[in-house]
Chains A and B, each alone.
Chain A
Amino acid sequence: MVFRKDELEIQLKDEHKMIQDGKIRDDSPLDVSDEFGALCRACRVGDLKGCQEAIAAGVNINARDSFDYTPLILASLCGHYQVVQLLLEAGALCERDTFQGERCLYNALNDRIRNLLLQYDYSKSTDPLQPFASHISSLLTRPVPKTSDIALNTATSSWNLHKFILSARSPYFQKKLAAAPETAMWKLATIPNEAYQVAIQYLYLGAVPTDLGIISESSANLDQVLTGIDKVSKQLGIESLWESILSGNDRRLARQRHQDEVTAGRDQIERWYRSNVLKYKVEIDTSKAQDVKWTRDNGIFADVLLRADEESEEQTKSEEDTSKTRNTSGLLNGIPIGPAMSSRSPSTSRKPKKSVLFPVHRAMLIRSEYFQTMFSSEFMEAQATEYLQIILVDCSPEVLEIILNYVYTEKAENIPIDLAIDVLFAADMLFIEKLKTKAAIVISTIGNGPTSLVDRTHTENGEQEVEQINVYDVIRAGWLLKIQRLEEFSARYLAYRLEEYIDEEEFEELIKESAGRIEKRQETDTIELLDDIRYYLSERFRLRFEDSGLEDIMDEDGEINAEAVQAISDSAANDEAIDVEMPKLSKALGDLNVDNEQNPSQKDPASDPPMLPAGVRTLDGEIAGDEFAADAINYQVLLGKIDTLLERLKLDA
């Protein structure tokens, strides 16, 4: 059903009223902070990196600016497909039948963006914290592997719960458990079971049932249960439970309250995680790492230790960093520390390799299918031992910490670009799909560099670009882990910088690899990577032609008839309409020429394409009539280079 405009406006008015009355929260609050302004600007110009940085910094992407624009509306209005996609994946709202949602849709610059928005319509756009909350809730009912470490008992029922969740969520338990961390049983006062059930579900981030879970055969009536809940919530220090119950009837209100509650719960768990798990991580020589002994009844209720080894090659620098800041674990709270801190192995002449141990909880680890399988199996890791099992995770401590961050807090926005590929591989190994996606997003946005659409052939100021990524690694990771997004990204990346890469030997290797990816390659088969590059190359140049309304100069193959361009530009030059531009242009082209001339001479002088006439000042030095002509010729030059490359590789495509 689609609402008419006036109906939407009435709805908007009602909504404003409700927001003013404080009944519901505004989905898109006004935000005039500078950070939000920066995000909006990034959305206008299509700056993927800027957007990702803003999102990672925690700017509310559903806020609106002083003109009632949300970032999503801006991005879709300005036609930045990748930005729209990024925003939607980060949880930007686009609901049909809401004022803001419909604005996004009818503002969308083209059908591609419009369809993308429709795909993310309300039914599909989920609360980004939902998987986290449902995992916590599912811990109540999951039979294998056993992760609970405390049993709460009433006369008739018992619940198998997790100390760290209780401690994180309830001040009462935090106090009690800090005093006696080894407790494994807990007697509860006689309050109707239903009251406890509701309270526990609430602690475990579940939704409060509307009927309070009262079943007909129960001895308790509604009043008793409510009194019980009141009592329990006061005792456990979770007063907001009461408000949740009161809001049970209004669905939207309940949804918002639940979302708030999940966010708050996540924050509680995160605080707890930071002040316990991260605080008590142990740094130790790798050779001693396996000897660390933690008892089961430790103060942070950890039931397994994860070990990550530093990389030997880089150990010197990074270790000094970390050891200074993080070597704070003391003998607090009865947490035992392995014997190895002081003793250094004499056999190694250099600084010994270091490992980091994280005391963690199986209940959270099993968010990864890898750990789920591990702890459900009959292997060593699943056995109950006197001291905590130490499990090696095959990645660096930094990466492991990012993974743990994600597992405990659902936060993965702050993956540093230099660790992104490592995180990608680790997440793939541990089957954490969402983290994998996040890492891929980081690579494909931050790695893109600040100027995504400004063509490099026209960069004027000669800014030196610092590339953040090794695109060869990225594309290989994309192939290996089957991440379409990275393959596309790399092709685009290469296409926009083709003049720099085309002559490198490693690029040649890459093309060969891409060709080899198709088994039993036939002569007629294309090379996927090259196809992609060609596509983005045409996009890179076509955009400019299209803007000028000169599509007719492209023939059917999407290639550009250089002569036609030349003719047009000649006539244009005669009009002298763009004369003013000329000095600038030649400066830009001059920069390019420098680039171009150095490139072949350094790398591969022999491969200098013989078919191109020398001495012209475009990419191959020719002086073009104007910008269009230069583009057309540049395009031809690059295509020509690809063909040469193929010929050399004896590949047909």
Chain B
Amino acid sequence: MISGRGRGKIRAPRRGVLGAHGDGDEFGAMWEILRSALREIHEKNASKLSFEQLYRASYKIVLKKQGDRLYEHVKEFEEQWFASQVMPVIRKLITNNLINITQGGIASATANERRLTGEEFLKGLKLSWQDHVTVMNMTTDVLMYMDRIYCHDNRKASIFTTTMGLFRDHILRAPLAATSENMITADILNSVVLDQIGMERDGDVINKYHIRSCMSMLERLYETDEEAENDKLYLTMFEPEFLANSRTFYKKECSALLRDSDASTWLRQTKKRLAEEAARCQTTISPLTAPKIAKVVEEEMISAHLSEFLQMEGSGIKAMINNDRFEDLEALYQQISRVDPAKVPLKKALQSQVVSLGMEINKSITETDFTTVQAAPENGETVEAVEGGASKPKPPSKKSTINAQTLAAIKWVEEVLKLKDKFDVMWENCFKQDLLLQTALTKSFADFINMFDRSSEYVSLFIDENLKRGIKGKTEAEIDIVLDKAVILIRYLQDKDMFERYYKKHLARRLLMSKSESADVEKAMITRMKMEIGNAFTQKLEGMFKDMQMSGELTTQYREHIRNLGDMDRKNIDLGVQILTTNHWPVEAVGGSRVEAGREKCTWPSEIVTLQESFKAFYLKERNGRALTWLGYLGNADVKVVFPKVSGKEVGPLSKVRRHELNCSTYAMLVLLQFNDLQDGGSLSFEEIQEATNMPTQELSRQLYTLSVVPKAKVLSKTPDDRTHPKAGDRFSFNTSFSSKAIKIKQPVISGLANKAESEEERRETEEKNDLYRGLIIDSVIVRIMKARKELAHSLLIMEVITQLSSRFKPDVAMMKKQIESLIDKEYLMRVEEADQPTYRYLA
């Protein structure tokens, strides 16, 4: 079969392409063509060269596996070119001046000269670089086949990359002939550029274009031929120097500012420098550096001396806040947010400022308080108030009835709100509504408010005052604002249970004495609180409202009932009742605490007893099993009083029989009833009255005081007739010579019923009660937790309790320990002996 093989019909590739190796001469010839062409290209005579011929030469060399020789020859050629043609030009441009600058010596030349020589150098370097790039692009075109085939197969960097590396090694890293030291072109480049940038920072105008060109050269060169992104010469060679240089510069600038200027100048300068550096990165060096240089400026200009600037007298943050320098604050905020996303220094400064301003308010209020108290006689607060009102010749002003403490409370609240407004405006305008800062501000407000131990009471008083009088004549929108403010303050309060206690007390009084301006507003307030604090908080308050409503209905029903009975023979006493559910109402808070002992014993006159029985029967008809307790001190009565003609007086009001309707408290009615059966001119001693009514001494004294001492309703005369409080041994008689222009006379409000700040003593009492109450709550929470967990470490338990109670108050650790002890005593819990940390177990 061999005979049939017509092999070789396919033509052998021509011109010996497939021959194993071409002879050396052929390579020599080809290389000679390429070499002279390269020379022409470098001399910019490329337009006379034939691409086809050159490509073919390189193609053949590569095809004959001589690619490595070609590669090396091109490299060699390029090296020689650099040495013979490029470097001399550049060396010429490097003057001694430049070398001096680079060596860190002080340049003898003026800035202007330095600038000019520097620019010359940059321009020369730029030109040689641009030439090199152009030439290498053309060379790459010619050697395209080598790049694709030889370099690819042998994993060599492309010839372009390689010659870029040669430029780096033979131009930028070429040692300078002039100096023996190992100084290279790149050093000169660095120092010239830095020098120029320094001039620009000082305000000179420089040629940015040259610098930018040289920088883009560095950006296109790499440390190695792998051309890793991080190995750009720009990043390895220039940038670190630039950053170090800038750091020194800004360090100096910042300390100069610290020495000579104020914080406001510092802020403006920093802002300007930041903008300058950002612009420089865009136009002069490289955008790559922008974040880094910004960081340097931030570190040196902002972070380094931040606290010093903030604490500057007269221009630091205190001054900014106090003088509402919003622009400065805004700049400050922007700059601090650059260096510290948490803005700790600003936050701290703000907080301390808020707290100190708040403390000032607290302090001033406490001091004002003191002076008022000083001014008043020391007979006890009840008297002062009434006296304060009475001693004034014309007492119609409502404020007269508010005691000074209440005034202080309102003032305090207003001051706090003003402070809050100030910081809110600042927060909105300067701090871009930063949430972190908002939290911080809220916290510090809460701090100083809670540091003020009467805050709960004052806030409640503020609301009370507003609901009683403040909202009169205001539009709904205005009322909303007031309510909102109130709620903000409530939010800050830590001991919400204390606040609840006070609010309940104040609300009770408003309701019982019908002092409230508008039920709608009251309800709106409660709705807000419900949203803010929670359902549990307002449950009882709502109950109070419900009671009031029920009572109204009940009274109507009762009257209906009486009318239907047709039993009109008994004395016509019109009865209005208010049924208060025990749990909802703070009984002790409405003045009952001190008379608790005598509550039951109070003797009711027979008429009243009949009435009570009648109502009780009516009430219990529908509601079985309820106990009704009559609280005389909370009620009031209209008593008709007839004053006989006073003999001897022919003219004036005394000459006629006067009928007055006296509106007084139920107790006062009891007292007055004692005088009903007394013959004219008779008198009763204090003891007699007390015996008859069985009222507590203090209460009686108070009632008698208003009836016999206060001129407005002086229906009784007291012997001795002085202004002191009635006490045992005094005697009282009907004041027949009483006269008043008004038909209806109102018994002066006895303090203790008006809402006002508590005295120290009262407050202590309230706190004690509150503690007791808290103890119970803590107990219940602990039991609830332990019931669920069965076993829990002490610290975990404490933490859990605090979290669960955080919406109501901040429990005291000592108290919690005490409660745990007591729970252990009561055998709800036991200690787990074997645990390595204190642990409790729930005992079912």
Q: Do A and B bind each other?
A: yes
CB within 8 Å of B: which residues of A? 311, 314, 369-370, 373-374, 376-383, 391-394, 396, 417-422, 425, 429, 431, 447, 462, 464-471, 473-474, 476-477, 480, 482, 500, 513, 591, 594-595, 598-599, 602
Task: Mark contacts of B1-20 with chain A using CB atoms, 8 A cut-off: 1 yes-contact digit, 0 otherwise.
Answer: 11111111111111001101
Task: Please tell me if the beta carbons of B9 and A377 are within 8 angstroms of each other in the complex.
Answer: no
Task: Please tell me if the beta carbons of A467 and B13 are within 8 angstroms of each other in the complex.
Answer: no
- B 102-150 contacts with A by CB, 8 A: 138, 141-142, 144-145, 148-149
The 6 closest A-B pairs by CB, nearest first: A464-B4, A379-B51, A466-B6, A469-B10, A467-B7, A374-B51
Nearest CB to that of A482 among chain B residues? B153
Nearest CB to that of A312 among chain B residues? B14
For B18, give its contact among A311, A418, A476, A591 (CB under 8 Å).
Answer: A476
Task: Please tell me if the beta carbons of B10 and A470 are within 8 angstroms of each other in the complex.
Answer: yes
The size of the chain B interface, using a CB distance under 8 A, is 38
- The residue among B10, B47, B51, B138 with the most chain A CB atoms within 10 A of its own CB is B10
Stretch of B52-60, B88-96, B404-412, B780-788 with 4 or more beta carbons under 8 angstroms from chain A: B52-60
Nearest CB to that of B148 among chain A residues? A431
Q: Is B63 an interface residue (CB 8 A)?
A: yes
CB-CB < 8 A to A378: which residues of B? 46-47, 138
Task: Please tell me if the beta carbons of A480 and B63 are within 8 angstroms of each other in the complex.
Answer: yes
Given contact pairs A380-B47, A476-B18, a sample of 7 additional A-B residue pairs in the complex whose CB atoms are under 8 Å apart: A379-B49, A420-B10, A465-B1, A470-B8, A473-B12, A474-B10, A591-B1
Instruction: Knowing A377-B141, A480-B18, say if A500 contacts B1 (CB, 8 Å).
Output: yes
CB-CB < 8 A to B46: which residues of A? 377-379
* Complex Cα–Cα for A425 and B16 (A): 12
* Complex Cα–Cα for A417 and B49 (A): 36
B87 nearest CB across to chain A (Å): 25
B51 nearest CB across to chain A (Å): 4
For B5, give its contact among A431, A465, A602 (CB under 8 Å).
Answer: A465
* Complex Cα–Cα for A466 and B141 (A): 44
* Complex Cα–Cα for A383 and B47 (A): 7
A174 nearest CB across to chain B (Å): 32
CB-CB < 8 A to B20: which residues of A? 513
CB-CB < 8 A to B153: which residues of A? 482
Nearest CB to that of A603 among chain B residues? B2
* Complex Cα–Cα for A370 and B59 (A): 11
CB-CB < 8 A to B148: which residues of A? 431
Task: Please tell me if the beta carbons of B14 and A464 are within 8 angstroms of each other in the complex.
Answer: no
* Complex Cα–Cα for A482 and B20 (A): 16
For B144, give its contact among A373, A391, A447, A474 (CB under 8 Å).
Answer: A373
Task: Please tell me if the beta carbons of B50 and A379 are within 8 angstroms of each other in the complex.
Answer: yes
Q: How many A-B residue pairs have CB under 8 A?
A: 115
> 30 A-B Cβ contacts within 8 A?
A370-B55, A370-B144, A373-B144, A374-B52, A374-B55, A374-B141, A377-B46, A377-B138, A378-B46, A378-B47, A379-B46, A379-B47, A379-B51, A379-B138, A380-B50, A381-B51, A419-B11, A425-B13, A425-B17, A464-B1, A465-B1, A466-B6, A466-B9, A470-B8, A473-B10, A473-B13, A477-B18, A482-B149, A591-B1, A595-B2
CB-CB < 8 A to A431: which residues of B? 144, 148
Nearest CB to that of B37 among chain A residues? A379
A490 nearest CB across to chain B (Å): 12
CB-CB < 8 A to A379: which residues of B? 46-47, 49-51, 54, 138, 141-142
For B3, give its contact among A382, A393, A464, A591 (CB under 8 Å).
Answer: A464
CB-CB < 8 A to A462: which residues of B? 1
CB-CB < 8 A to B52: which residues of A? 374, 381, 391-393
CB-CB < 8 A to B63: which residues of A? 480
Q: Is B48 an interface residue (CB 8 A)?
A: yes
* Complex Cα–Cα for A420 and B12 (A): 11
CB-CB < 8 A to B8: which residues of A? 470
CB-CB < 8 A to B55: which residues of A? 370, 374
A599 nearest CB across to chain B (Å): 7
For A466, give its contact among B4, B49, B51 (CB under 8 Å).
Answer: B4
* Complex Cα–Cα for A419 and B145 (A): 23
For A473, give its contact among B18, B48, B50, B141 (CB under 8 Å).
Answer: B18
- The residue among A374, A471, A594 with the most chain B CB atoms within 10 A of its own CB is A374
CB-CB < 8 A to B5: which residues of A? 465-467, 500
B106 nearest CB across to chain A (Å): 47
CB-CB < 8 A to A477: which residues of B? 13, 18
B759 nearest CB across to chain A (Å): 80
CB-CB < 8 A to B18: which residues of A? 473, 476-477, 480
CB-CB < 8 A to A469: which residues of B? 7, 9-10
* Complex Cα–Cα for A470 and B153 (A): 26
* Complex Cα–Cα for A373 and B52 (A): 11
- B 27-69 contacts with A by CB, 8 A: 46-56, 59, 63
For A421, give its contact among B1, B4, B11, B149 (CB under 8 Å).
Answer: B11
For A377, give its contact among B17, B51, B56, B149 (CB under 8 Å).
Answer: B51
CB-CB < 8 A to A373: which residues of B? 51, 141, 144
- B 206-255 contacts with A by CB, 8 A: none
* Complex Cα–Cα for A369 and B148 (A): 12
Task: Please tell me if the beta carbons of B7 and A429 are within 8 angstroms of each other in the complex.
Answer: no
CB-CB < 8 A to B6: which residues of A? 466-468
* Complex Cα–Cα for A418 and B13 (A): 10
A630 nearest CB across to chain B (Å): 17
CB-CB < 8 A to B50: which residues of A? 379-381
* Complex Cα–Cα for A196 and B819 (A): 93
Task: Please tell me if the beta carbons of B51 and A468 are within 8 angstroms of each other in the complex.
Answer: no
Instruction: Knowing A374-B55, A467-B5, say if A418 contacts B49 (CB, 8 Å).
Output: no
* Complex Cα–Cα for A373 and B137 (A): 11
* Complex Cα–Cα for A37 and B20 (A): 46
* Complex Cα–Cα for A146 and B47 (A): 17
CB-CB < 8 A to A314: which residues of B? 11
CB-CB < 8 A to A374: which residues of B? 51-52, 55, 141
For B1, give its contact among A396, A471, A595 (CB under 8 Å).
Answer: A595
